[in-house]
Homo-oligomer: A and B are copies of this chain.
Amino acid sequence: MKINNNFLDLKDSYLFSTIAKKIKEFQAVNPGVKVYRLGIGDVTLPLAPAVIEAMHKAVDEMGVKETFQGYGPEQGHDFLRNAIVDYYATKDVKVSSDEVFISDGAKSDLGNILDILHPSNKVLIPDPVYPAYVDTNVMAGRKIDVAKGNQANGFKPMPDENYKADIIYICSPNNPTGSVYTREELKAWVDYANKQKALIIFDSAYEAFVGDDKLPTSILQIEGARTCAIEFCSFSKTAGFTGTRCGYTVVPKELVFDNTPLNKLWNRRQCTKFNGVPYIIQKGAEAVFSKEGQKQIRANIAYYKENARIIHEALEQKGIWHTGGINSPYIWLQCPKGMTSWEYFDHLLTKANVVGTPGAGFGEMGEGYFRLTAFGDRETTLEAVKRILENS
């Protein structure tokens, strides 16, 4: 028996374990010193009351023979698929319910989608970026090139007409940079992909943080996207579902490669290797779209966005170059005084007792940058920002 030896090409990631180790060491030497964490990528507010209520009701249904739910459709229950269709309609996007696949989170589907694509495809991934895009393709042995983000392009790399790619990753609003592509910029990517017959893997996990009406919250708002893009979204950051696990993937029917609709292939993949999301969780996700649910989750997002605004404005006043923080929960800043990502990490930890995430952990182009997040509470955010400014 042979293993998939592509796994041996994976680089071990020590980013978060190294951070944890450094904090532990600091606290051992400095007992009682409070550490302010703005490195966290997880939400901290509890689930909305409408979601809690819907899940209690669903749990009760599961305990009674007449309302008990056994195997559901692998693609998700119609009540949730239809709620998502309606949500897209509010964005002026028309999708049909059989283009919507309910998942246990964007991370799963972003990895599993590669099952239906040939290993020989060449992949273009922005740098810096969420590391799983790279790792999942390394596992399949695909050749990967990077589209470089930098200050000149505001960490929004644009297509290079002379470069040929088969699979293109875009995450907007971006993790870790918080930058958001405009409609015109996304249109350039869509045109480029259609011209080359490439596929765009569009990660819209942070779409709910976009407040500016002029900015796109879905690639399907861009003309031509239905022939080149799959969209992956999640309730994790929209509704605090990081430990509740639900997301959705939209595979337009016009997406045809090698004369084969990807919607059909993905449906076959899911029916064979997946058995749907728990009924209870899908009922909770449905409640996110109710009138009360929307009001409640929007209030939570507004809370995080106010944290982001506080960080953004402070950096602006201090004249520290950064992206994000307006239509995104992430703020991506240039380390002051030419420090490397890890030097700045050590500096902030020891001088300001603040923890963030070194940009170098998101790719080579992240060196010299640093990520802060808005998912903490207000008090921590205010104090951390004050301390950062005093030490930058």
Contact = CB atoms under 8 A, between A and B. Distances in A.
A299 interface: no
Given A1-B167, A265-B7, A46 B71 contact: no
A175 B243 CA distance: 33
B63 A46 contact: yes
Contact of A117 (B3, B56, B59): B3
A238 to B, nearest CB: 14
Contacts of A4: 115-119, 265
Contacts of A281: 278, 280-281
Interface in A247-306: 257-258, 260, 262, 265, 268-269, 272-281
B167 A258 contact: no
A391 interface: no
A313 B47 CA distance: 52
A71 B243 contact: yes
Given A55-B59, A280-B280, A268 B2 contact: no
Nearest to A247: B275
Nearest to A243: B69
A367 B112 CA distance: 34
A244 B136 CA distance: 27
Nearest to A105: B275
Contacts of A60: 52
Contacts of A145: none
Nearest to A104: B104
A28 interface: no
A65 interface: yes
Interface in A1-56: 1-5, 7-8, 10, 42-47, 49, 52, 55-56
Interface of A: 1-5, 7-8, 10, 42-47, 49, 52, 55-56, 59-60, 62-65, 68-72, 104-105, 107-108, 110-112, 115-121, 132, 135-136, 139, 166-167, 197-199, 240, 242-245, 257-258, 260, 262, 265, 268-269, 272-281
